[in-house]
Amino acid sequence: MPSSRITEAKGILAARLREIRSEARLTGRTLASQAGWHYSKVSKIEHAAQMPNENDIRVWCRVCDAEEYVVDLIAAVRNIDSMYTEWRRLESTGLRHVQESFQQLYRDTRHLRVFQHSAVPGLIQTAGYARAHLRAVIGFRGIPDDLDAAVAARLAQQEVLTAGGKRFMFVVGEQALRTAICAPEEMVVQLGRLAELTSNMPQLSFGVIPSTARPPIMPPENFWIYDDNQVRIDTIPGQFRIKTPTDVALYEKAFSRLAETAVYGQAAREIIVATSRVFGGT
């Protein structure tokens, strides 16, 4: 689990700092005194109960006469910080900034693989669906309402779909087609968009896992794989970014299995059209 990786990384950092203090032959109280900290801070850091910030790292290494380790230790702190971010930090000024923050990542990614089991991925949402989806997020989290700007930013992301030299693979559960995120007429438009994606786009594949299928694995989380070096997972309280090679490889394996279970082309269109009729489509 991503959370266990974060705990492991924090433990490794804490052990390394404890080792540096020990090599300097300093007690925890002595280090704290020379650093100008409360005596308990060193113990909390060394037991991974408190994450040191970058300045803490610099002070720790200065007091321990080990400043040659500063760069590597700060890199470790930044890596841990990037593993998980609470939505309340990302969305403190609204959703526009969050949507815009993904644009460079999408531009830099050559091969994007996306799995979502109960909603349509943002990169292939229509305006009406995106508006309803983001409005629900704003209401649920009680964040500043910048809906128009957020929708515009989400739609702007979709420019990458026609950029050259890229490959996009989307796999969704059939439930994603049936979840009524927006009004019936808007759902029909969204499903029509998905039907279009099942053909005539050589750089993009769109697959549906039928509700009757028995996939070898059904992850509880949605995930995005950016090339072969990063996985993003969204949870209710925040977002994980996984970069550990073994974990990324595991998600790649999961995506491959899910993609093998999905149907494409005409078979996918038939499911989409049948679902559209439920919402009043023709």
Same-domain pairing of 153 and 179: yes
Question: What mean pLDDT is reported for the chain?
Answer: 94
Same-domain pairing of 216 and 274: yes
Q: How confident is the model at residue 36 (pLDDT cuts 50, 70, 90)?
A: very high
Same-domain pairing of 14 and 78: yes
The answer to whether residues 133 and 194 touch, using CB atoms and an 8 Å cutoff, is no
* Amino acid, res. 161: L
How much is the pTM? 0.81
Q: How confident is the model at residue 282 (pLDDT cuts 50, 70, 90)?
A: confident
The answer to whether residues 238 and 229 touch, using CB atoms and an 8 Å cutoff, is no
- Cβ-based neighbours of 89, under 8 Å, separated by 6 or more: none
pLDDT higher than threshold 90 for residue 224: yes
Tokens encoding 106? 């999408």
Neighbours of 272 (CB within 10 A): 23
Same-domain pairing of 135 and 207: yes
- The domain total for the chain is 2
pLDDT higher than threshold 90 for residue 267: yes
pLDDT of residue 245: 83
Last residue of some domain: 33, 58, 84? Answer: 84
Last residue of some domain: 42, 62, 84? Answer: 84
Last residue of some domain: 30, 63, 84? Answer: 84
Averaged over 218-242, what is the pLDDT?
Answer: 92
Same-domain pairing of 8 and 106: no
pLDDT of residue 246: 84
Lowest mean pLDDT among 83-92, 123-132, 174-183, 211-220: 83-92
pLDDT of residue 2: 60
Averaged over 114-121, what is the pLDDT?
Answer: 97
Same-domain pairing of 14 and 122: no
Please give the residue range of the domain that contains residue 223.
91-278
Tokens encoding 142? 């009680």
pLDDT higher than threshold 80 for residue 274: yes
Same-domain pairing of 56 and 114: no
Report the 3 state secondary structure along 74-139: HHHHHHHHHHEEEHHHHCCCCCHHHHHHCHHHHHHCCEEEEEECCCCCHHHCCHHHHHHHHHHHHH
| CA terminus-to-terminus distance, the chain | 43
CA distance 187 to 193: 10
pLDDT higher than threshold 70 for residue 1: no
pLDDT of residue 242: 87
Same-domain pairing of 97 and 211: yes
* Digit-coded pLDDT (tens) for 39-51: 999 999 999 999 9
pLDDT higher than threshold 90 for residue 18: yes
Do strands 238-242 and 223-226 pair parallel, antiparallel, or not at all (unpaired)?
unpaired
Burial class (CB in 10 A: 0-12, 13-18, 19+), 55: exposed
Averaged over 121-140, what is the pLDDT?
Answer: 97
99: domain CATH number? Answer: 3.30.870
* Digit-coded pLDDT (tens) for 55-107: 999 999 999 999 999 998 988 888 888 788 888 888 989 999 999 989 999 99
CA distance 14 to 275: 53
By C-alpha distance, which of 64, 52, 76, 54 is closest to 28?
64
Same-domain pairing of 263 and 143: yes
Do strands 167-173 and 111-116 pair parallel, antiparallel, or not at all (unpaired)?
parallel
Tokens encoding 66? 């080990």
Q: How confident is the model at residue 11 (pLDDT cuts 50, 70, 90)?
A: very high
Same-domain pairing of 151 and 267: yes
23: domain CATH number? Answer: 1.10.260.40
By C-alpha distance, which of 250, 223, 219 is closest to 234?
223
Residues, the chain, total? 282
Q: Is 173 helix (H, G, I), strand (E, B) or coil?
A: strand
Same-domain pairing of 107 and 122: yes
Same-domain pairing of 172 and 54: no
pLDDT higher than threshold 60 for residue 197: yes
